[in-house]
Amino acid sequence: MIKKLEKKNSDNKDWEKFLQEPGKIYNKDRDYQESLSKNKKFRFDFHGYSIEKANSAVQKIISECYENGIIEILVITGKGLHSKDNRDVYNSAEYDKLKNTIPLFIKNKPDLLSKIKSIQTAPLKLGGDGALIIKLKKPTR
């Protein structure tokens, strides 16, 4: 038998206070992005992106980060575990995953490649095989 949880009066008061002043909620995402900017790092999650959309976004992100003095980009691609489609003989099991196609796209774009120091798999605590770290050169001015 499932026991119904009882609401506490303090929960109701907290909820009413929230409804009156929703702007006072801590925005962890904004603070995280500000922290990244201060540390000259940028993070972007590509989960759900198609290869074409991801390539377009990568080009824009790298160019803007380079121009703004960002030195490191954490690109979260996922591991591609849900992208397995071996039924189509024209699809490559290796190159239908963003973790493989993004570096290949960059390497085939000389304008992007000229802005990059290195591309490597992220350490485990930052996503491991499901993420890349792109280190950028400093812009020449």
Ordered per-residue pLDDT tens for the chain, 141 residues: 455 555 566 777 777 777 777 666 665 556 555 655 667 888 999 888 888 999 999 999 999 899 888 999 999 988 765 555 555 444 444 456 788 889 999 999 999 999 999 999 999 988 898 899 999 998 876
Matching CATH number, 27-136, of 3.40.50.620, 3.30.1370.110, 3.90.1150.10, 3.90.79.10: 3.30.1370.110
pLDDT of amino acid 88: 46
Residue 44's nearest CA partner among 81, 79, 78 is 78
Instruction: Report whether 113 contacts 107 (CB < 8 A).
Output: yes
pTM listed for this prediction: 0.64
Strands in the chain per DSSP E = 41-45, 72-76, 116-121, 131-136
Residue 105's nearest CA partner among 140, 129, 77 is 77
pLDDT of amino acid 62: 94
Cα angle 55, 50, 29; round to 5: 80
- Collapsing DSSP states into helix, strand and coil, what is residue 66? helix
